[in-house]
Amino acid sequence: MQQIMVLALDLHDNSSCKKKAMKIVSSVPGVDSITLDVKEKKLTLVGNMDLMQVVTKLRKVFYTNVVTVGPAEKPQ
C-alpha cells in the first residue's frame, strides 16, 4: 500500500546537504517519489517503504523528526 511520509530534517542551505539527503533516501527500496523543501526543511516521500529504515538511515547524518505518515490518496 502506498503511503506518504513527511519528515523534518535539520538541513543547511548548501547543496551538499541536499545531495546527501537525496542520496540516502533514494537508496531505500520502495521509494517512488522524493520532494525536498529546503526553506521549510521538510522531506516528503511517497511509496511503499519501511518508515524505520528511512528514519534510521537519515538519523545517522541529520537530526530527523517524523511529521506525518499516512496512506497516499487514490485518484477518483
pLDDT tens-digit series, residues 14-33: 788 888 999 999 999 999 99
Domain boundaries defined on the chain: 3-70
Q: What is the pLDDT of residue 15?
A: 80
pLDDT tens-digit series, residues 51-68: 999 999 999 999 999 999
Domain 3-70 has CATH 3.30.70.100: yes
Run of H or E including 44: strand 42-47
Q: What is the pLDDT of residue 30?
A: 92
* Grid-cell match 516521500, residue found: 45
> For the residues 36-49, what does the mean pLDDT come to?
91
> For the residues 5-12, what does the mean pLDDT come to?
90
**DSSP state at residue 14:** S
Measured CA to CA, the distance from residue 71 to residue 62 in angstroms comes to: 25
Report pTM.
0.84
